[in-house]
Structure 1
């Protein structure tokens, strides 16, 4: 099965290379279909790995490839999969396939479908590689692979009415993340100076032994800053709203659905097990900033006038719950963080698909210009939008509920080394943020869906949901319901690996 894991990365990479080779291999008219097929094959490989996964040993790294790559510094091509990485691999493969499928019927602004599809496939390589890498340097390389493709996706295919704005948003995104990554790399080097290995399985087994506490604290700060930029943690989030507002639909879906999870995944994979003493020292500060992000994201949403920016700010709040769960240093909190990450990928991916569809139909995402009356004009599209909004506010029975609830439960009983009183205060504030989240989504639903149309008679006949949209969105709706009713589908996979990584 380690060959299948190699193919998981090779198929989208090969697809991107074939598309860049020119029209003789894939004609222009078949470009989008070719990308969808490559995405479908990658998704099937991910499902195959999930079917062959030994769930009784989810804490163990499976399907491993471990060979020397750069002997001079002991860098190894070490890939594998455990209970923490499996849900993220499946989520990434699914969202990438749905984006590629969406492109077959919804042409990107500005054309150049071949280049866009190739970049999405290259993005998929970087995202999947991050979740299966078990060497710090290999992890870092995959972590960085996504930056340049996403810059082009935003800068070239973003908002067609604001070329300067989309380039500025793309440049801000890459500058923030490059700076964060440089700081994170310094943290990795600090770990190496104490442990003399980059291998994540060996570092997790040692649990920080051999790395002095002072070095661990410095490494935890450096690694945490690099991961926090991409998570995104307040106040390092400011690149996110513009990037989402200016990105094309597929860019927003992958950015919210997967790229943000690369940061929080790194906290669980690297930060917690590799520098545990440093994590314990830094965790209260991480929890405090995460809680500020929850409140800030909710309050910012109440003031937004553009749909995609509003959903982007909601992501700041939702990812705050993920970071709060991680900062509790408990199995319950970290499991909740991982579940919330998967749920956020499904729900916010759906919301950005719908927001893109609304903007494509009306030529704007401005809430004042969109007006109300979606129930009357586009009842099916309005229904999907309301479902996504209700799921995002954390309604019990849908996937958005469980992760945030477990993160709050982790704050109720944080790790013994942490001050419980501090976390109880943060839990109450985060709970207030959850109430504000419900408020702004309900206001948004009332504003857009109810009432009468205010945008003019020319838009009364806009089309409702199309067939390709139904196919692309249905898996996200179904999984949001399934995971809401049966959260054990994720938690039973992540829990053994989480308990191994946090030592619980």
Structure 2
């Protein structure tokens, strides 16, 4: 089955068997030969990203149908198959995943000295699972695979975390995301009972009764809201970020938090349109609260990573407002922030990682005046700070502005609160940047002042190029996803 699955994925995004093979090969190499193990992992992830992938070359943006569809019977039931495919909504998730994994391996190149091959194996297995989730067209597999993604992340936080609370944070992350998905597991048998299949392409044409739609929507909402995360089930995210190593924070901010929003777009909105329209206030309310609450909470934090960790909560809840607006502006505008969110917080976490590697502390009160001791790092972090503020010309702006327009068409109060939250987010972003960069440095606490080396600069460059590229030339998003978004809106009969 695994061989056939890998063959199916090879038609989708290049040599996807590479992460699987790359995760198995290091297990046969002695721990003493850490450099070959790292090279194997890095090469496997780079080949997955750089090999001429079929979706980027042959993807047809003029159709909303899933492309490169493959099926595999994996359970002894006639109508339950493994369906995979890709459309304009999932294309960027695949590209983002294959982009971030080589960077995570590079970030941990020198820091993951203990259990090096286990780290490579966990990273590549996580890549394979995330690509599988992005391409999955079956709700049953969309439940199974996202529940597998936290396992490598649990290991990375628990083994390579930086503080004593890492075990607690790892279990908290795993339990929150797993228990929330139990509700979706209860909904799948009900879907199977009515339709006799779990093929989403058939389910999209199935009409559920209004009462059943509401029940199924609530079950899927409980599962996806934890992964976004939405208030009040967001507690696990800051804790996981603070305790995770830098590479773990990069991947945690870049990919797993998209599982919830991807699930809303893939299943909840198109399958249960009536329930989606009726439940808009139940998404607007916690999302608006989160957008206001998280910047206010951030201003009280003293740990640099925790300050940055709260920003994804606000940005992803703005995405849920866009998706719940049920119009082209809102739903279409929610895709670019998800891709941008895979670049902005990871870049900021990398900046904190550079500081921590040199000074072994993340307390904001010990920092100041780095512009005079590390002049290149403030320049790099300034670009990421602008993107975190959703400044025009950056990748965040091109999505958050349409979201505001779409939300205003549905509810002007929610749009106003979202705009206020963006202002508060800009305020704490500037405060954090000024706190680290300006003022007088403290030689009593900080001793090693060295700018990012060549390896670290090479890691930063792809993020900076991506932030500017998507901000200056955002047309790449509408070209690839416009048809898919239009079909989603029309299928749900949204106005």
**How far off is 1:168 after superposition?**
0.2
1:97 aligns with 2:97: no
Residue 174 of structure 1 is matched in structure 2 by 174
C-alpha distance in 2 between matches for 1:235 and 1:91: 28
Residue 203 of structure 1 is matched in structure 2 by 203
**How far off is 1:478 after superposition?**
0.5
Contact persistence 2:14–2:52 (CA under 8 A): no
**How far off is 1:29 after superposition?**
2.3
C-alpha distance in 2 between matches for 1:154 and 1:455: 31
- Tell me the secondary structure at the aligned position of residue 273 of structure 1: helix
C-alpha distance in 1 between matches for 2:353 and 2:42: 19
1:72 aligns with 2:77: yes
**How far off is 1:185 after superposition?**
1.6
Residue 228 of structure 2 is matched in structure 1 by 231
Residue 36 of structure 1 is matched in structure 2 by 42
Of 131, 134, 148, 2:137 maps to 134
C-alpha distance in 1 between matches for 2:457 and 2:397: 24
Residue 16 of structure 1 is matched in structure 2 by 23
- Tell me the secondary structure at the aligned position of residue 259 of structure 1: coil
**How far off is 1:462 after superposition?**
2.1
Residue 434 of structure 1 is matched in structure 2 by 422
Residue 420 of structure 1 is matched in structure 2 by none
Residue 84 of structure 1 is matched in structure 2 by 89
Residue 413 of structure 2 is matched in structure 1 by 425
In structure 2, list runs of 5 or more residues that go unmatched: 1-6
- CA 1:256–1:154: 2 relative to 1, 3 Å: same
Contact persistence 2:61–2:483 (CA under 8 A): no
Contact persistence 1:191–1:215 (CA under 8 A): no
**How far off is 1:283 after superposition?**
2.1
Which residues in structure 2 correspond to 1:45-60 (within 5 Å)? 45=51, 47-57=53-63, 59-60=64-65
- Tell me the secondary structure at the aligned position of residue 313 of structure 2: helix
Shifted more, 111-120 versus 71-80: the winner is 71-80
- CA 1:477–1:236: 2 relative to 1, 3 Å: same
In structure 1, list runs of 5 or more residues that go unmatched: 415-422
**How far off is 1:279 after superposition?**
1.5
Residue 244 of structure 1 is matched in structure 2 by 241
Of 62, 66, 85, 1:61 maps to 66
Deviations 1:64-89 (A, max 9, x none): 11232214263212111110010111
Contact persistence 1:170–1:243 (CA under 8 A): yes
C-alpha distance in 2 between matches for 1:457 and 1:212: 64
- CA 1:51–1:80: 2 relative to 1, 3 Å: same
C-alpha distance in 2 between matches for 1:202 and 1:44: 34
1:381 aligns with 2:381: no
Contact persistence 2:254–2:345 (CA under 8 A): yes
C-alpha distance in 1 between matches for 2:472 and 2:35: 42
Residue 372 of structure 1 is matched in structure 2 by 368
Residue 254 of structure 2 is matched in structure 1 by 257
C-alpha distance in 2 between matches for 1:141 and 1:152: 18
Residue 499 of structure 1 is matched in structure 2 by 486
- CA 1:452–1:45: 2 relative to 1, 3 Å: same
Residue 299 of structure 2 is matched in structure 1 by 302
Deviations 1:417-459 (A, max 9, x none): xxxxxx2111111111011011101111111101110242752
Residue 3 of structure 2 is matched in structure 1 by none
Contact persistence 1:36–1:100 (CA under 8 A): yes
Q: Under a length normalisation based on structure 2, what TM-score does the superposition of the two structures give?
A: 0.94
C-alpha distance in 2 between matches for 1:184 and 1:46: 36
C-alpha distance in 2 between matches for 1:63 and 1:308: 40
Contact persistence 1:294–1:433 (CA under 8 A): yes
CA RMSD of aligned residues (A): 1.8
C-alpha distance in 1 between matches for 2:194 and 2:419: 40
Of 432, 444, 447, 1:456 maps to 444
- CA 1:96–1:27: 2 relative to 1, 3 Å: same
Deviations 1:17-70 (A, max 9, x none): 22223439x94321111111010011124744311212222x121111123221
Contact persistence 1:126–1:144 (CA under 8 A): no
Contact persistence 2:326–2:489 (CA under 8 A): yes
Deviations 1:306-356 (A, max 9, x none): 111111111111111111101111121111111110011111111111111
C-alpha distance in 2 between matches for 1:399 and 1:66: 35
Q: Under a length normalisation based on structure 1, what TM-score does the superposition of the two structures give?
A: 0.92
- CA 1:457–1:28: 2 relative to 1, 3 Å: closer
**How far off is 1:362 after superposition?**
1.1
Which structure shows the higher helix fraction?
1
1:486 aligns with 2:473: yes
Number of residue-to-residue matches in the alignment: 484
C-alpha distance in 1 between matches for 2:152 and 2:174: 10
C-alpha distance in 1 between matches for 2:137 and 2:90: 10
C-alpha distance in 1 between matches for 2:53 and 2:371: 37
Shifted more, 117-126 versus 42-51: the winner is 42-51
Residue 316 of structure 1 is matched in structure 2 by 313
C-alpha distance in 1 between matches for 2:52 and 2:355: 31
- CA 1:46–1:255: 2 relative to 1, 3 Å: farther
Shifted more, 318-327 versus 278-287: the winner is 278-287
Residue 284 of structure 2 is matched in structure 1 by 287
Of 435, 441, 457, 1:447 maps to 435
- CA 1:366–1:382: 2 relative to 1, 3 Å: same
Residue 417 of structure 1 is matched in structure 2 by none
Which residues in structure 2 correspond to 1:469-480 (within 5 Å)? 469-480=456-467
Contact persistence 1:46–1:89 (CA under 8 A): no
Deviations 1:168-193 (A, max 9, x none): 00000000011011112222333323
1:406 aligns with 2:402: yes
Contact persistence 1:194–1:212 (CA under 8 A): no
